[in-house]
Structure 1
């Protein structure tokens, strides 16, 4: 039993490469944690960590041991929690990273609904633009929009959101209404993290045609919320996920441009570091999958 406990402590240290940070996270004194890991190394007869005054590094043996032990510890924790979940609602702190604008505009009401139905869960949300490191940082899940580039993480598709062009009635009254994708070259187009000249790919809703159009404009930035706001201020045409434009369309601040054409749909993923998830995280992901796309949730891959 001592070996298993020490194995779990070693995994916590190896995840963050720091005795002090691991000790703080699990509530064990730093000196105790260091002593227990040293005892583990002595028991197995191999050095697992290179210790210097500046940093920790896994040895070759430590890397192999960490990969094996992490799975065992995850399975043990999950088995323990699942037995408890037979008698109780999910509980604990759910730490999630959310897209800034999509989280604020669209996910906030869903978070309120989820919180009301799971009173035992408390929440810590990170809405900074950066992509958190799910391996070394204490996050349970990250909700991300767009295709995932990190093959080391587990991606669960939650929804595929339709996307169209939008502009304000004031802008269209001043600049004219484009009749086709090629007309966009004569318009101010609001871009998201693009070069001065952007290429927008648009497809007919019926799938009969696709056109690549090089567009330009004075504004390129990294905030969807700011792009949407600039569009409501008559500054140009913007590509938006329909869900983020709903309120402005309903209020008359925006309307669809070229409604027979659509931009590439945007996938939404729940990203986790492992497939072995505690109940609080499983329920959260299942809830979002159902609410984000209820008519297709049963067909989305897990």
Structure 2
């Protein structure tokens, strides 16, 4: 890269017919220009310029070298501009593995906005509960909720979602509304728990309470948990972004509003830090939108 920079400075000196004019055009001090061109001549082993007090003139070798350098510098400039355009308007197929329920409920309108912003992109999305293998499968990125499992992959944080408590009005009318976290142990609680039993840790301004909860259902689907809650089957602890439509429609209502569950991190997972422009733009876009949650 330094050698290419010296070539560009050499072209500037020739175009300006002197070091003073080249210094004004490039912003590089006159003395630095002279030293860099001398170092270039030494590296090549040929004199490129005849220096006089008024101007510089190309030697025969310098003329040949100048023509080659001018083309190389111009091609580098064009390549730089084209790469800039690729970053601004990426194209190709973006292959992503996405969490099912969070994507359908919350990411879908964001993805539509992203697609309108970058019309040169097409999309290949895989929405399944399984954890995709980014090493053996052709995904550019995976969006995951919860702490990353594979330390060999690159995890970029997008957001941290606070879980809150919700239930349907009909369930609360039938079973009563809990007045404290301890009351949850007497309610049907729907969550990703083995055998339908476990604990929830809730926080209110630093006051932490861990509550034993249980219910009739053992589930591995966030979407099913949410759906059962709207069908009056129990209380859920879930990020607002996932239940926002049900809350807006009145199917679910927030309870114990001062209490929150542990934050649920959202990550973009890639196999490597060197990612193409399409993936970079997608991650940046989601971080911008999800960061406000």
With normalisation by structure 1, the TM-score equals 0.68
Task: Describe the SS at the equivalent of 2:161.
Answer: strand
Alignment: residue pair count = 213
- The alpha-carbon distance between structure 1 residues 169 and 82, as it changes in their structure 2 partners (threshold 3 A), is farther
Give the RMSD, CA atoms, in angstroms. Answer: 1.5
Question: Deviations 1:121-146 (Å, cap 9, x if unpaired)?
Answer: 10000001111110111000000000
**Structure 1 residue 197 displacement after superposition:** 1.9
How many Å separate the matches in 2 of 1:132 and 1:84?
33
Unaligned runs of 5+ in 2: 1-78
Give 2:182's aligned residue.
182
Contact preservation (8 Å) 1:85, 1:279:
no
Give 2:273's aligned residue.
275
How many Å separate the matches in 1 of 2:81 and 2:195?
53
Give 2:102's aligned residue.
102
- Among candidates 240, 243, 259, match of residue 241 of structure 2: 243
With normalisation by structure 2, the TM-score equals 0.70
How many Å separate the matches in 1 of 2:80 and 2:130?
32
Contact preservation (8 Å) 1:82, 1:279:
no
How many Å separate the matches in 2 of 1:227 and 1:198?
15
1:212 aligns with 2:210: yes
1:288 aligns with 2:289: no
Contact preservation (8 Å) 1:168, 1:254:
yes
**Structure 1 residue 173 displacement after superposition:** 0.6
How many Å separate the matches in 2 of 1:138 and 1:238?
35
**Structure 1 residue 288 displacement after superposition:** 0.3
Give 2:250's aligned residue.
252
- Larger-Rg structure: 2
Task: Describe the SS at the equivalent of 1:291.
Answer: helix
Give 1:143's aligned residue.
143
How many Å separate the matches in 2 of 1:260 and 1:193?
24
Unaligned runs of 5+ in 1: 1-80, 296-302
Give 1:227's aligned residue.
225
Structure 1 window deviating more from structure 2 (86-95 vs 115-124): it is: 86-95
Question: Deviations 1:69-128 (Å, cap 9, x if unpaired)?
Answer: xxxxxxxxxxxx977432342111000000000011100001100000101110000001
Give 2:195's aligned residue.
195
Give 2:264's aligned residue.
266
Give 1:123's aligned residue.
123
Task: Describe the SS at the equivalent of 1:150.
Answer: coil
Which consecutive aligned stretches of 4+ in structure 1 deviate over 6 angstroms post-superposition?
none
Task: Describe the SS at the equivalent of 2:262.
Answer: strand
